[in-house]
Amino acid sequence: MTDNKTSILDGGHHGDGLGFDSRAIHYGFNPVDFGRAVQPPVFLTSTYGFESVEANEAAAALGGRLYAREYNPTTEILEKRLAHLEGAEAGLVVSTGMAAFGTLVLSLLSQGDELVVHKTLYSNTISMIEQGLPRFGIKVVPVDLSQPSNLDEAITDKTRLVYFETPVNPLSAILDIEAIAQRAHARGVKVAVDSTFASPALQRPIEHGADIVLHSLTKYINGHGDALGGALLGDAETLHKLHETGLRYITGATLSPHSAFLILRGLKTLSLRMDRHSSSALTIAQMLEAHPAVGWVSYPFLDSHSGKAVAQKQMSQGSGMLAFGLKSGFDGARKIFDRFQLLTRAVSLGDTDSLIYHPASIMRARQAIRADAHLVDGVGDDLIRLSVGLENVEDLVADLRGAMQVL
Ligand SMILES: *Cc1c(COP(=O)(O)O)cnc(C)c1O
């Protein structure tokens, strides 16, 4: 009698040729290798014993299956699965999304090299490029990549990498992956895309010409707000370097195997969740756009979004992230924020729970301890970011409407 699960997964493919959802559940895990456990076991060990000196040498030659900073069987399943879902040859997972960015730039760039970035990025990535990288002699060149032709002037013979997010945090602006990759490749420069806002269920940048994809696994891929993680996906040669230098001795930012297990569990329901996040976010974006107190709404799949055509080219749905501003600006945001009953006032995004955040309030508070704290380029003090969760959309609409009644 054939074992269904084994026959799907045998032949060394472990799920090749299956649809996205089937691979999100099965790819890279063959139960036969793990005592026929249906779910991947968590390997809590810091090191691995060897039968002989020869076996130890063979493991070292394999690229570091010696010690748990560089190798863990649970983590390896997650790396293989994410790489396959993104259409990448190889993957690396690390402790956070910021660790992924640090691993990327500190492994691939050296003193004197240049990094071209889109001018608006996740706020801590901005801190790294403004305060971190220049200390190591790496020049960062911010440009507006909403006009891909701006790249032509920004790239020099010292440029090693072009880096951007799409959708862009926190604006939900859209950048054209294909157009940017074509221009960068014409000059021999690699392109890395932070695809955290979309997840591979909605957008796979490598299919549009990107070389490397970065994710904060903390967000949609884990999806439940209970673990931190980061990932880099791309060609085998680059990923080998990121693993053997970046993770092994530059950052040492290993993902906990328990977090790898949680993230593998979250990944199993990724496209179901993204479908619901996206449909609820579109409903809420349309409600906000029609509301008399709202000045503007940015959601990629709204007709009013300037990037809608590009979004439809590279994303299958709009995801759960939207930004909006009230006509009463900063003061209006302050007035409604304490009135939410269901929406949670919190940073982070991509959770089952809806999270709402007003960057300017936090920035003003931070300026008391850090005079040079500033809002990211392109973010106004009226901007409210909403990560639409998986609650009933009528309840979310009612909570927003109720809070806005004071305006
Ligand atoms: C949150 C986030 C990061 C950083 O990820 P952490 O897991 O919090 O370190 C990077 N990029 C984007 C777009 C993010 O939203």
Q: What is the pLDDT of residue 373?
A: 86
Q: What is the pLDDT of residue 12?
A: 46
Per the rule left: phi > 0, alpha: psi between -120 and 50, beta: everything else, 377 is beta
Q: What is the pLDDT of residue 10?
A: 45
Which among 104, 122, 224 is the best mutation to test ligand 1's pocket, defined by most ligand atoms within 8 Å of the CB? 122
Q: What is the pLDDT of residue 58?
A: 83
Per the rule left: phi > 0, alpha: psi between -120 and 50, beta: everything else, 36 is left
Tell me, in angstroms, the distance from the centre of ligand 1 to residue 97's CA: 5
- The CA distance from 319 to 157, in Å, is 37
Q: What is the pLDDT of residue 60?
A: 79
Q: Closest Cα partner for 75 from 224, 227, 203?
A: 227
Tell me, in angstroms, the distance from the centre of ligand 1 to residue 297's CA: 22
Indicate which atom in ligand 1 lies nearest the CA of residue 218.
Answer: 7
The answer to whether 91 touches 221, Cβ cutoff 8 Å, is: no
- The CA distance from 112 to 57, in Å, is 37
Residue nearest to atom 1 of ligand 1 (CA): 216
**Tokens coding 30:** 């063959």
SS3 assignment, position 31: helix
pLDDT along the chain (407 residues), means of 10: 43 72 97 96 94 85 82 96 98 98 98 98 96 97 98 98 98 97 98 98 98 98 98 98 94 98 98 98 98 98 98 98 98 97 97 97 89 88 98 98 97
Residues 6+ apart with CB under 8 A from 372: none
Pocket of ligand 1 (CB under 6 A): 96-98, 122, 125, 165, 169, 194, 196-197, 216, 218-219, 228, 230
- The CA distance from 385 to 36, in Å, is 44
- The CA distance from 380 to 288, in Å, is 18
Tell me 120's DSSP state: -
- The CA distance from 27 to 30, in Å, is 8
Quickly list DSSP for 32-73: GGGTT-SSPPP---SB---SSHHHHHHHHHTT-TTBTTT--H
**Phi and psi, residue 294, nearest 5°:** -95, 130
Residue nearest to atom 5 of ligand 1 (CA): 97
Residue nearest to atom 2 of ligand 1 (CA): 216
Residues 6+ apart with CB under 8 A from 119: 142, 143, 144, 145, 377, 378
The answer to whether 378 touches 306, Cβ cutoff 8 Å, is: no
Question: Domains in the chain, ordered, with CATH?
Answer: 39-267 (3.40.640.10), 270-404 (3.90.1150.10)
Residues 6+ apart with CB under 8 A from 176: 148, 310, 313, 314
